[in-house]
Amino acid sequence: MTKFTLFIVSDSVGETAGLVTKAAASQFRHDLETVSIKRFSYIEENSQLEEIVFLAKQQQALIVFTLVKSQMRKQLHLLCEELKVPAVDLLGPLIDKMGDRLKQVPFEEPGLVRKLDDDYFKKIEAIEFAVRYDDGRDTRGILEADIVLIGVSRTSKTPLSQFLANKGFKVANVPLVPEVDPPSELFSIDPAKCFGLCISVEQLNSIRKSRLETLGLNDDANYATIARIQQEIDYFNRITTRVGCNVIDVTNRAVEETANTILKAFSARKAN
């Protein structure tokens, strides 16, 4: 059985080259026995390349590499030609073609794809968190959240939570109802991460009437009356005073505007 050694060389972890080489090796019988894979990660110096190529020559290895810096790729090509070591450049040709098509110069910064992946999974985790802890379903989320939103019904807590989650922030939101005591967790967190959403009585009255009509109900229900709304807002004011949190007036404001206000306050808190 023919066996050979394969060197994976990368200026990052080398996951991309590892997946591609395993996919290629899987096309041959007994690939795990046939191919011995050695990984060389975080290669940043020409001297490291010299040692790897020399070792590859001794072991008659095939080099597969993902190097984002053009200078490093050129150096490895030269070394491999000089010692007659076979090599496959997985990224270089594609980067060059894309640069020509986009008319842009590549960043040549190792590990960017891993950073993008981390950001993506962080966003997915935040979105799942916002769904899990929406509308006060589980008060444990208050303690784990980056941002906590509180407010009476129909103050855009849920869409705001989802918007912030898409920015990678874990958000829990809690409805405030006079007949229900607020969760105790609300008074044990850092007030700076909690934001109360207030709204004018008139706009909330209009929003709730529209909501009732959408549901096919009479718009004169207690839920939408001025007296009930004023009662809820008074209760909201008492709770936000106890919590000591920031209060944002969302009257006639888009979700994006409110989110930007929260993110600025959040950033300022982290900077201090």
Annotated binding site: 151-158
CB atoms within 10 A of CB 173: 28
Burial class (CB in 10 A: 0-12, 13-18, 19+), 206: middle
The number of residues making up the chain comes to 272
Taking the CA atoms of 112, 117, 120 and 121 in sequence, report the sign of the dihedral they define. negative
Cα–Cα distance measured from residue 263 to residue 272, given in angstroms and rounded to the nearest whole number: 14
Among the listed residues 98, 78, 69, 75, the one whose alpha carbon sits nearest the alpha carbon of residue 10? 69
Token digits of residue 27: 């096309």
| Distance separating alpha carbons of residues 35 and 236, to the nearest angstrom | 67
For strand 171-175 and strand 246-249, is the pairing parallel, antiparallel, or unpaired? Answer: unpaired
- Estimate the share of the chain in helix, then strand, then coil, as percent rounded to the nearest 5: 55, 15, 30
Residues near 35 by Cβ (< 8 Å), separated by ≥ 6? 3, 4, 5, 6, 21, 25, 28
Enter the DSSP assignment of 134: G
Contact 204, 157 (CB under 8 A): no
Binding residues for ADP: 151-158
Distance CA 48, CA 266 (A): 44
